Each structure stands twice: as C-alpha cells, then as structure tokens.
Structure 1
Amino acid sequence: MKKENFLKIFIQIYFILFIFINFVVPQNNTDEIISLPGYLKASDNDFLFYWLVTSQNNNPKGPLIVWFNAPGADKSQGCSPLSILFSKMGPYSINSNGTIDKNEYSWNKRASLLFIEAPKGNGFSFAKDGNYRTGDNQLNLSVPDI
C-alpha cells in the first residue's frame, strides 16, 4: 500500500514539474526590462537620478548617448532631462492628454540612452544634507565623481 501511495505522489509531482517546465519557464521576452531608472552615487552625500534606455538593435557594444539638461543661465536648476526622454528622444512620448504613443523617431533605435538629472536638486536627484548647488560650475563638480 505504501508503494502505491509513493508512486501516486511521485507521478503527481512529476506531472506538476512537467507542466511548470513546459508552460512557465519558456515564456517569451515581451516583459524583458529595457529601461532602468535608479541613482548614481556621485559622492557620499550626492545622488543623481538616471534613466537608462537600452538600444533597440540589441548591440551591447553599441553607442551610448549621455544626456544632461544644463542649469539655466539665471543659476536655476534647469529642467529635468526626463522631459526630453518622454517628449522627443525616448521610445515613447507622453501626450498632453496623458496618453502614450510609440515614438517612431526614437534615438534608441540606434543607441542606448542615459539621462542623468544633474546637478543634485534637479528632478529626483538629491543631497542627503540638503545642500543644493546650482550653476554650470557646480554641475562640473558633481558629475566627474561618478
């Protein structure tokens, strides 16, 4: 009797593994991650937000375009480069009514795109101590630390 129960359990486990391996594991890559937002640690205090969009041509050694929006001439922080990502250069455009369209002229058809919000205080970039520098000279101080 015990051998029969063992055999039933073994067959059930084998069947479940068979189903799992054949239907779950070989899923297609439609949910593959192709953009990665995160933070670059520019110093112990400064964290710069970035958004990486990989190239559509799947060339890991292909070109990389790094995009900053410079601070304004009035020493303001300038605007976030994410505005360019979601309106002109990225794979999708966000319309004024909130809808999203595929961008047929996306720059990531040929190259990977890296958008960095700098200096700290611009967009999602921040400083742990709350000391926010502005202007081109301050941008030069924080970015090379990456």
Structure 2
Amino acid sequence: MSAAQERRNLLERRTVVLAVGAAGAAAALTACGGPDGSGGGAESVEQPGSGGGSGAVLARTADIPEGGGVVFAAQKVVVTQPRAGEFKAFSSTCTHQGCAVKEVTGGAITCPCHNSAFDAATGDPTAGPATRPLPAREITVEGGSITLA
C-alpha cells in the first residue's frame, strides 16, 4: 500500500469516528432538551381561548387542581394552585439543563430529565440537580379565567 493510500484510509477512518461521535453527542443533547423545551417530555395541554401569546386565556381556574398544577407546553409556563384560590405561575423550563418540566403532583413540579423537583408554591428547588428556582411568570386571575400577562 502506498503512502497516499494509507493517508486516505486514515482520513476515512477519522471521518467515520468523528461522524459517529457527533451523532452520539447530538442524541445526548436531544435527550436532555434545550431552552426551547424540546426533548423534555412535557405533555401538551389543550388551550382554551385563542393564540398562545401574552394576554391569551390559559385555562379556567377550575382546570387547575388544588395542590397540583398544569404544564402549558406551548406557552412554556406551569400554573399551580398550592392552596385553594391561590394561583402561581413559573417558567416550565428546568433550571438544571433546560428540559421542560412534565407534571405537578403532591405540591411538586417535576422534571423528567434528571429528576429535579420544585416547590409548586415558590418554584424553589426541592430535589435533584437543579439549584436555582423556576423563574416566576406573571398571570392574571379574573372571572374564573387565568391569563398570561
């Protein structure tokens, strides 16, 4: 085998190794999700009202369970009702690695990627690798409707 053929074979092997490594890295990053909420596994919730932007009605107050909450994937917000008649809203993007939180149960907002949990009343981390709270989002509760401000 000539020197040119050996060099070409070496370059072809390097290309294959780099391509496999890049594909593996892309798969790992996709599994963790990103700041846009992709890959995090948050369930989509059917939205009442029109549009998903600011000022749109997210839900009726009756739709948010007491002691629980609902994740609104399209708006990247989670609305909770820690106590009867008290509604809170937080970003649904986990502060650990940007995955979308998935559910609210037992007073905790949970992220499926690395098992971080956040207090449904404050957004403060209570478990997992996340160390920063979920940022609060502004909502308006009026006439039985919850609107993203």
> What TM-score range do you get, normalising by the shorter chain?
0.3 to 0.5
- TM-score of the superposed pair, with normalisation by structure 2: 0.32
Larger RCO: 1 or 2 (CA < 8 Å, sep 6+): 1
- Of Structure 1 and Structure 2, the greater strand share is in 2
Query: Rg larger in 1 or in 2?
Result: 1
- Of Structure 1 and Structure 2, the greater helix share is in 1
- TM-score of the superposed pair, with normalisation by structure 1: 0.33
